C-alpha cells in the first residue's frame, strides 16, 4: 500500500456521538506513529463506501477521523472493524466510535462589547489598572501564604477575610468586630500602593484595613454589584493572581441592577427601546499580577461584574481561564456616613430618603 504525507487537521472539530450513528468515525490505534499511513487507512475504510477524507484527530499520531459520504458506509465499517484486528493495517485492533461535527466555538457574551486592555480606553473616571504590579515570585508567595490558612466555603468559591468579616447576606461589615490587623504577608503590596498617589494624584486616604481573598474555580464569576457605600470608603483595590478574567462594568440608569429588566445588548448607550437596555456597558481584561483601583465614579456608580465563563473572548483572541483565579480585594471600612456625589447609587443616602 502506498504511503501519503500527513494530511491537514480536520476541517471541523468532532465530539463523541453518544450512541447516535453518524458518517464520521473516530478511530484509535492506527496512524503514522505506529507505521500506518493515511493512504492505507483510506484504502481499508474505502472498501465500505466513499471516504471524503482521513484527518488527524490530535497530535498523537495514533488517532484519526474517517469521514464518509454516507451514514450507511460508516455503519458498515464500524460493524466490520471495531474492536477487531485488521489484517490490512498490520493486524492492529481498532477502537472506533461515531463522531459528530462540533459546532464552532461561540463567542462568549462578553464579546458583544469590546474588551479593553487598559483602563484609559474605558473612559470611566476613577478607574485605574496597573499591569505586573507584583512579580511572579511575589505572586507565588502570596498564593502560598493564603493556601496555608483556612478557607471558608461559599456556594461556588472559597474566601478568606482579614481585618473585618464581610457578611454576604447583608453586604456589610460590623465595624465593631475587628478580626485583627491585616496579615504581614500583604505588607509589600500595601507599600506599593503608594504609587497610586504619585501616578494618578489620588488624594483620598489609602489606609486600608479590610482584605477579602476570593478563590474562583474555572467558570465562576460575580454578579453585577457595587460594593456597599455604607460599608466601605472610597478606594477599592483588587489584585488578580494565578489566572486571568474579564471584568465588566455597567452603569444602570436607576442605580441598581436588581431593579431593572435590562438585557445584554450590543448597544452601549442608555435607554435603547429596541432591546430594552438601560445601562452603559464596558469591559476590561485583567491579567494575572495586575491590580485594579476603583475610586470616585468607578467605585460609587458603576456595577462591576465577572462573567461566569471558562473561556473569554478578548476581541479576537480566545483566553482560557486558569485552574483557579485568586483575588485580593483591599478596602477601608467606613466609620462615617457616606457623602458621595451619587445618591442614586448610595444605599445610605437612599435609606435617608426612604
At 144, the pLDDT band (50, 70, 90 cuts) reads: very high
184 inside domain: yes
Residues 6+ apart with CB under 8 A from 240: 286, 287, 288, 289, 290, 291, 292, 325, 326, 327
- Residue count of the chain, please give it: 354
Question: Residue 325 in contact with residue 244, Cβ under 8 Å?
Answer: yes
CB 172, CB 165: distance < 8 Å: no
| Listed residue (209, 227, 206, 230) closest to 164, CA to CA | 209
Assess whether 137 and 233 both reside in one domain: yes
Q: Check whether 230 has a pLDDT greater than 80.
A: yes
The reply to whether 269 falls in a domain is no
Q: Write phi, then psi, for 243 (nearest 5 degrees).
A: -145, 155
**In-domain check, residue 107:** no
What pLDDT, on a 0 to 100 scale, did the predictor assign at position 79?
94
Residue 125's domain comprises: 115-255+279-348
CA 37 to chain centre: 40
Share of residues in the chain with pLDDT > 90 (%):
50
Pairwise pLDDT comparison (320 vs 14), residue with the higher score: 320
For the segment 127-152, the average pLDDT, to the nearest whole number, is: 96
pTM of the model: 0.64
Q: What radius of gyration do the chain's Cα atoms show? A: 28
Mean per-residue pLDDT, 157-182:
87
Strands 92-93 and 95-101: unpaired
At 80 the pLDDT is 95
pLDDT of 177 > 50? The answer is yes
| pLDDT over threshold 90, residue 94 | yes
How many domains would you assign to the chain?
A: 2
Collect contacts of 81-89 with beta carbons under 8 A, ≥24 apart.
81/44, 81/45, 86/30, 86/44, 88/1, 88/40, 88/43, 88/44, 89/30, 89/36, 89/40, 89/41, 89/44
In a domain, 246, yes or no: yes
To the nearest whole number, what is the mean pLDDT of the chain?
A: 83
Q: Is pLDDT at 159 greater than 90 in this prediction?
A: yes
Q: How confident is the model at residue 349 (pLDDT cuts 50, 70, 90)?
A: low
Within a domain: 209: yes
- Among all chains, which residue has been given the C-alpha cell 471516504? 51
pLDDT at 275: 36
Last residue of a domain, one of 47, 68, 101: 101
User: Grid coordinates in use for 292?
Assistant: 485594579
Q: What is the pLDDT of residues 274-292, one digit of tens each?
A: 233 578 899 999 999 999 9
The residues that bridge with 316 in the sheet, in sequence order, are: none
In this prediction, residue 9 carries a pLDDT of 56
Across 220-228, average pLDDT: 90
- In this prediction, residues 77-89 reach a mean pLDDT of 93
CATH of the domain at 35: 3.30.70.330
What's the half-sphere exposure (Cβ side, CA atoms, 13 Å) at 119? 18
Looking at the structure, do residues 132 and 236 belong to the same domain, yes or no? yes
Same domain, 152 and 237: yes
Burial class (CB in 10 A: 0-12, 13-18, 19+), 192: middle
332 inside domain? yes
CA distance 219 to 183: 29
Q: How far is CA 54 from the centre of its chain?
A: 35
Q: Identify whether 265 is part of a domain.
A: no
Asked whether the beta carbons of 278 and 253 are under 8 A apart, the reply is yes
For residue 109, the model assigns a pLDDT of: 46
Whether pLDDT at 186 is above 90: yes
Whether the predicted pLDDT of 193 surpasses 60: yes
pLDDT digits (tens, 9 = 90+) for 43-55: 999 999 999 988 8
The answer to whether residues 283 and 332 belong to one domain is yes
Does residue 166 sit in the same domain as residue 211?
yes
Instruction: Answer whether residue 74 shows pLDDT above 90.
Output: yes
Last residue of a domain, one of 37, 66, 101: 101
Same domain for 84 and 126: no
If asked whether residues 48 and 182 sit together in one domain, one would say no
Segment 240-254 mean pLDDT: 90
Q: Which residues contact 32 (CB under 8 A, 6 or more apart)?
A: 6, 38, 61
Q: What is the pLDDT of residues 196-219, one digit of tens each?
A: 777 766 655 568 999 999 999 988
Spatial separation of the C-alpha atoms in residues 347 and 332, rounded to whole Å: 17
- Burial string for 294-333 (b: 16+ CB within 10 Å, else e) reads bbbbbbbbbbbbbbebeebbbeeeebebbebbbbbbbbbb
The partner residues of 225 in beta bridges, in order of sequence, read 304
Q: For the residues 163-190, what does the mean pLDDT come to?
A: 88
In a domain, 268, yes or no: no
239 and 158 fall within a common domain: yes
Structure confidence at residue 86 (pLDDT): 93
Asked whether residue 23 falls in the same domain as residue 61, the answer is yes
Are residues 89 and 173 both part of a single domain?
Answer: no
Same domain, 180 and 314: yes
Domain final position from 44, 71, 101: 101
Interval 84-98 mean pLDDT: 92
CATH number at residue 212: 2.60.120.1520
- Do 55 and 150 reside in the same domain of the chain? no
CA 158 to CA 154: how far, in whole Å? 6
Orientation of helix 71-81 relative to helix 38-46, angle to 10°: 100
Q: DSSP per residue over 19-72, as a string?
A: T---SEEEEES-SGGGT--HHHHHHHHHTTS-EEEEEESSSSSSEEEEEESSHH
Angstrom distance (rounded) from CA 108 to CA 90: 45
Amino acid at each position: 500500500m502506498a504511503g501519503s504525507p500527513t494530511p491537514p487537521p480536520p476541517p471541523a472539530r468532532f465530539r463523541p456521538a453518544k450512541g447516535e450513528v453518524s458518517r464520521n468515525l473516530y478511530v484509535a490505534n492506527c496512524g503514522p506513529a505506529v507505521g500506518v499511513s493515511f493512504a492505507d487507512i483510506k484504502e481499508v475504510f474505502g472498501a465500505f463506501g466513499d471516504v471524503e477524507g482521513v484527518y488527524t484527530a490530535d497530535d498523537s499520531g495514533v488517532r484519526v477521523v474517517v469521514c464518509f459520504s454516507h451514514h450507511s458506509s460508516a455503519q458498515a465499517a464500524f460493524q466490520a472493524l471495531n474492536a477487531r484486528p485488521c489484517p490490512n493495517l498490520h493486524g492492529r485492533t481498532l477502537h472506533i466510535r461515531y463522531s459528530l461535527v462540533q459546532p464552532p466555538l461561540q463567542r462568549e457574551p462578553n464579546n458583544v462589547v469590546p474588551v479593553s486592555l487598559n483602563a484609559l480606553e474605558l473612559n470611566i473616571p476613577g478607574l485605574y489598572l496597573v499591569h505586573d504590579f507584583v512579580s511572579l515570585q511575589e505572586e507565588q508567595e502570596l498564593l502560598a501564604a493564603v493556601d496555608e490558612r483556612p478557607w471558608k466555603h461559599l456556594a461556588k468559591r472559597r474566601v478568606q477575610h482579614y481585618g473585618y468579616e464581610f457578611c454576604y447576606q447583608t453586604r456589610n461589615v460590623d465595624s465593631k468586630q475587628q478580626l485583627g490587623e491585616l496579615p504581614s504577608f500583604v505588607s509589600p503590596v500595601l507599600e506599593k500602593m503608594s504609587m497610586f498617589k504619585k501616578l494618578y494624584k489620588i488624594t483620598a486616604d489609602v489606609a486600608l484595613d479590610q482584605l477579602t481573598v476570593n478563590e474562583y474555580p474555572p467558570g465562576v464569576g460575580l454578579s453585577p454589584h457595587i460594593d456597599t457605600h455604607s460599608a466601605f470608603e472610597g478606594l477599592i483595590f483588587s489584585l488578580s493572581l494565578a489566572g486571568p478574567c474579564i471584568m465588566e462594568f455597567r452603569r444602570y440608569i436607576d442605580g441598581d441592577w436588581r431593579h431593572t429588566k435590562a438585557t445584554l445588548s450590543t448597544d452601549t448607550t442608555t435607554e435603547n427601546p429596541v432591546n430594552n437596555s438601560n445601562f452603559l456597558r464596558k469591559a476590561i481584561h485583567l491579567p494575572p499580577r495586575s491590580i485594579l483601583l476603583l475610586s470616585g465614579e468607578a467605585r460609587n456608580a458603576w456595577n462591576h461584574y465577572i462573567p461566569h465563563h471558562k473561556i473569554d473572548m478578548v476581541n479576537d483572541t480566545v483566553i482560557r481561564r486558569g485552574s483557579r483565579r485568586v483575588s485580593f480585594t483591599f478596602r477601608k471600612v467606613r466609620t462615617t456616613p457616606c457623602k458621595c456625589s451619587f445618591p442614586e447609587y448610595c444605599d445610605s443616602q437612599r435609606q435617608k430618603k426612604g
